[in-house]
Amino acid sequence: MTESERLGAIEEIRRLKARYWRGVDSADGDLVRTILAEDCELDYVGCCTDPVSGIDHMPQMNMVMRGRDSWQTGNLEEPRLVTVHQGHQHEIELTGENTAKGVWSFTDRFFMPPGAPFERLVGYGYYHDTYEKAGGKWLLKTTRITRLRVEVS
């Protein structure tokens, strides 16, 4: 792989992750599914647990989603959880011609619907991803979140 091809792959993966967060935040399941590998595994177990206090603020998020079609969008007519993700400082490493891994520093904010036990959750941590190139396109193969801190108010 030439340096130009390597840099092009990294840029494509960066854009893939931006589309992932935009799709999550806008509740656009169709968009999220466009960047997922058919046999992806998305591990969100412990994703809202504060490692400092040990409190899991959203145990309903503890799930592992398997396969592109497992990503669904809820009813947008009901009051819903709103999220805002900001990704930073990517570390992307190509591990083969068609494989890569990445670590992303990120901050996310959850704005809860009326009646929730808290109004807002702010989290800080890392996404640990793997990617594969299939059909000439980079896709998200696996993801796992580790947290540094979670705050609720």
Q: How confident is the model at residue 49 (pLDDT cuts 50, 70, 90)?
A: very high
Q: Is there a contact between 111 and 120 (Cβ–Cβ < 8 Å)?
A: yes
Confidence of residue 79 (pLDDT cuts 50, 70, 90): confident
Neighbouring CB atoms inside 10 A of 134's CB total 13
* Domain locations in the chain as residue ranges: 3-152
pLDDT at 77: 61
DSSP letter string over 77-109?
TS---EEEEEEEEEEEEE-SSSEEEEEEEEEEE
Q: How confident is the model at residue 76 (pLDDT cuts 50, 70, 90)?
A: low
Q: Is the pLDDT of residue 142 over 90?
A: yes
| 26-46 pLDDT tens trace | 999 999 999 999 999 999 999
pLDDT digits (tens, 9 = 90+) for 93-115: 999 999 999 999 999 999 999 99
What architecture (CATH level 2) is domain 3-152?
A: Roll (3.10)
